[in-house]
Structure formats: structure tokens, C-alpha cells
A and B are shown apart, each in its own frame.
Chain A
Amino acid sequence: MEAASQSTYIKRKRDGRIRIKSGNKAERVMQGTILSFIILTAIAFIIFDYSGLHLISAVQETMYNLYVMFLQPGLSHFGWGEALFQVSMTLGLAVLSTVFGAVIALFLALMAATNLSNKGLTKTVRIIVAFIRAVPTVLWVLIFAIAAGLGSEAAVLGMLFHSVAYLVKAFSEAFEEVDPGIIEALRATGSSWWHIVTHAVIPSTFTYLLSWTFLRFEINFTVAVAMGAAAGAGGIGFELFMASGFYFDLREVGFITYAILVVAILLEIISTQLKNRLFPAAATQ
């Protein structure tokens, strides 16, 4: 190294070594966040309730269970036709909550978008949506089960609440990205609010709305499985719960898991294809 004359821009640490980090707020907050993660995780493992846990035998048993499930799947309490029906039942719950949710969310999102609505309305809708999102779906389903009886209505309504909350956020963000010039131009011609919405805002965001809706459908399928298992909403999730919780039939659990996996992967593939077709620019990046 050649001996260089000292730069005037050098900053030193307390011990005299030269600093090289930019040391801005973002960096400090990131370090703080990571440190908190580590501390909280350590505390978590200390306070966990390990009652009745025999780790080694539990791991061995789980390995054996997984082996039976995935390598020797089979049906014993119902046939293929019934299995197919239960899967369609779960898909049906997902479809209904997604479709109804999307329709409701469309209207609410128009009220929640800052460029299409007034401040008071936007704030109100957003607070309501944040509250709905914060309550886990299963609690909504169970609450509706008391009011509407334990049937598909309770499941759909419970799932609907979350779908609406999720889609309102996504939709309103899409609406807010509409070129303000277009809205201004239409306003200048004397168009009414409805005209602007139906002729400018919705057509120019339609593909986004579609793609978000399908993504939610993908999520709702998983949610519908969960509601079947945890809230007795029927469908393949309920069968899964019965097979593992009542019959202890690992082969059937395996078969059902495969059925769910196949549908979920199929939906994911369709969703990716749809995204690539609708947004070819984003896909090639």
C-alpha cells in the first residue's frame, strides 16, 4: 500500500479506527429489530409449555406417521366419489366467500380510495376493515355459527368478512394508482362520479382486481379446509379432522392431505399463469 496523505472526510470511531458504515436510522432500526427477534425467540423457548412432551419419541413417531401417510395413503371410511364431493364442497365454500367478498369489497374500496372519496369516509372504512382483519377468521365463523346456525352460511359469512377486509385493502390501493390525469380529464367534461368509476377507474384496474381476487380464492381454499377442521364447517377439512382426531386413520389422513395438496398446487399454478398472462412485464423481470 502506498502511503497516502489523510483524507479530510475520514470519520473515526472512539477507538480511533476508521468508520465505514453509513450509520443511518434505517440501519439502527434494522439492527434493533433483529436483536428483538433473537431475544423474544430465546424467551419463547424458555417459557414454552413442554408438558407431556418426549421429544425423541415424538420425532420418531412423527417420522413413522409421515411415512405411513405419504407412502401408504388410502381410504377406509368413505370412497373416491365422496372424497371428490367433499373437495368440491370446500372449493364451493371458497368460491362463495370469494365472489361475494369481491363484490362487497369493490364498493367499499371505492369508498376507501383517497382519490375517489372524502377523508372522513376513507378513514371510517379503513378503521372498520382493520378491525375485521384483526379478528381471526375462525372466530368470525364461530361467532356466525351461533347467530346463523352451524351450516355453510356461517362458514361463508365468516370467511366473507376476512375476504372483504383483505380485498378492500388491495382494491383501494389499485384504485389509488389510477393516473390522476384521467380522472381530472373526465371530471372536466362534467362526468358524474359513477361515470368516472365505471368508465375509467374500473376498466383500467380490472386485471389487477381479477388477479387479487384469484389470489384470495387460493387463500380461501386453505381457509375453508381449516374451517372444516376447526369450526365443523364441513368439506374435506372436516374429514381430515375426523380421520386424525376420531379414527386415528393415518392412511386416510395421508390420502386427504394429498387431495388438498393437489388442489392447492393446481390453484397456485393457475394463479401464477394468470399473473404472467395479465402482467407479462412483471413476469419477465
Chain B
Amino acid sequence: MKREKEMKRKRWQTTILLAVIIVVTYVSIAITEFNVLTGITAIPQAIGWMFSHLLITQESLAKLPSILEKLNETIFMSIAATTTAAAVSIFLGLMGSKTTRVSNVLSVLARFIASFSRNIPVVAWALILLLSFGQNSMTGYLALFVGTVGFLTRAFIESIDEVSGSAVEALTATGATYFQIVNKAVIPQSLPQMISWILFMIETNIRSATLVGILTGTGIGYIFDLYYKTMDYNTVALVTFTIVITVIAIEMASNYIRKVIL
């Protein structure tokens, strides 16, 4: 009897949930003036267009050196933003974690900084910074840096909380100082997870850097925008292809590293 009631309740919940999703979807279609028919027909149309227009030609290949130069800028920007953000995040993560916090005020502050910088989209940071930093690598770097600090701090807090409670207790009991405990127990134990998050963030940031580049006129995003606006789709295809290769290469390298260290 009881189980049957439970099952009935569950079925009701699922039905209501589905109804809510359908209503929300319908409202969204109305607000965004989304035309379902256009939407559906656009997919085969777009794919057809891609295969007929997005072709890498001899001519576009000539532009490869300048594309690679910009791509290089984007890759290095993503890496630098991620690693420097990670250094700040380790500090904020230690302050924010339950096991390693020094004071409650600092802990709340660390979590606040993380939440604030994470929840303001990278585009917003890029546009704000663009006003005074101008069109150069620094703008993109800082925009990525701020967003990454927010994300990594949250991830690091979780990693630290997860791994280190018991060892911290044991080392405190031996009379070790705070810095000894952090350096010799907390960091060694959570380092593999931290590296894994850093690799994930580098990958994400390369994609975000393309977006930021379109707005701030730097890196591969700038080159893409340039050829897109002049309707040189062959070069657009080449640019896209180089990005794909880069992201996949980095993903493969990260997967290898993760497999060994985790």
C-alpha cells in the first residue's frame, strides 16, 4: 500500500515537472519569437551551407602563418590567465575551506569574491575592462583571469574539503604549524585534483578567449571576426579548423595527464 502511494506520488511529480517544462518552453518560444519551423529547416540548410561554403582552399592556406600567430596569442593568454588565477585561487580556496580556514570573516570574504567573479559573465568583464585597458592582450587576459578565479576557487574549496580533514587533525595534534600542515598534507593530497581542474579551465578558456577576442579585437577571435565580416568563408573555415585542432590536442594531453595522476 505504502509503496503504491509512493509510486503514485512520484508519477504525479514527474507529470507536473513535465507540464512545467512544456509551459516554460512555450513561454520562451513566445518571448524570443522563435519560429520552430524555421528552426528545424535551418539545421539541414545550415549543414548544407557549411559543406558547400566552409572549405579550406589553397588561397586561404596562404593566410595560415598570420592565423597561427593570433592563435598562439590566444593559447598563451588562456594558459597565463588560468595559471595565475589558480595561484590566487589556491589562496582563496584555503581561506574558504572548512578544514583550512583561518577565520570565519576571511572565509566568507573568499567565498563572496568567488561567487561575485564567477557569476558575472566573462563578456561583461571583457566589456568593462575594454573601456580603460584598450585593445590588447591585457584586456582579454584580465577578463579570463577574473572569471577563472571565481570558478577555480569554488572547485578548490571542494577539493580541499573532500581530501584533507583527517590528515589536518593528525598533523595539528603533532604540533605542526599551519603552513607546515597546508604545505605537507593539504596541498600534496589535493594537488592532482587541482591540476585536473586547471587543465579543464585551460580548455574552457581557449573557447572563451575566442569570444572575448571578438569583443576586444585580440587573438584568434579578432581574426575570425575579420574574415567573417568580409565574408571570406574559406578562411573562416580554416580558422575554425585550427581552433578545433588546438582544443582537441589540449583535451587529449589533459586526459593523458589526468589518467596518470588521479
**With A136-B211, A143-B46 given, is the CB distance from A53 to B133 under 8 Å?**
yes
Q: How far is the CB of B31 from chain A (nearest CB, A)?
A: 4
B191 within 8 A of A: yes
B46-A268 in contact (CB<8A): no
A5 within 8 A of B: no
Instruction: Mark each residue of chain A from 213 to 248: 1 if its CB lies under 8 Å from any CB of chain B, else 0.
Output: 000000000100110011000100100110011001
In the complex, residue of chain B having the shortest beta-carbon distance to the beta carbon of A155: B32
Question: Dominant SS at the B interface?
Answer: helix
A196 within 8 A of B: no
A43-B76 in contact (CB<8A): yes
List residues of chain A with CB under 8 Å of any chain B CB: 25-26, 29-30, 33-34, 37-38, 40-41, 43-45, 47-53, 55, 57-59, 61-62, 65-66, 69, 85, 88-89, 91-93, 95-96, 99, 130-131, 133-139, 142-144, 146-149, 151-154, 156-157, 206, 210, 222, 225-226, 229-230, 234, 237, 240-241, 244-245, 248, 250, 253, 256-257, 260-261, 264-265, 268, 285
| 18 A-B pairs whose Cβ atoms sit less than 8 Å apart in the complex | A26-B261, A37-B83, A40-B76, A41-B83, A48-B76, A50-B137, A53-B138, A61-B132, A62-B131, A65-B128, A92-B31, A130-B251, A139-B243, A229-B124, A230-B214, A240-B124, A244-B131, A253-B128
Told that A135-B244, A230-B214, A285-B162 touch, could you supply 9 new A-B pairs with CB distance under 8 A? A30-B192, A48-B80, A48-B137, A134-B248, A143-B54, A229-B127, A230-B211, A250-B131, A268-B119
List residues of chain B with CB under 8 Å of any chain A CB: 14, 17, 21, 24-25, 27-29, 31-35, 38-39, 42-43, 45-46, 49-50, 54, 72-73, 76-77, 79-80, 83-84, 115-116, 119-124, 127-138, 141, 162, 191-192, 195, 198, 207-208, 210-211, 214-215, 218, 221, 224, 228, 240, 243-244, 247-248, 251, 257, 260-261
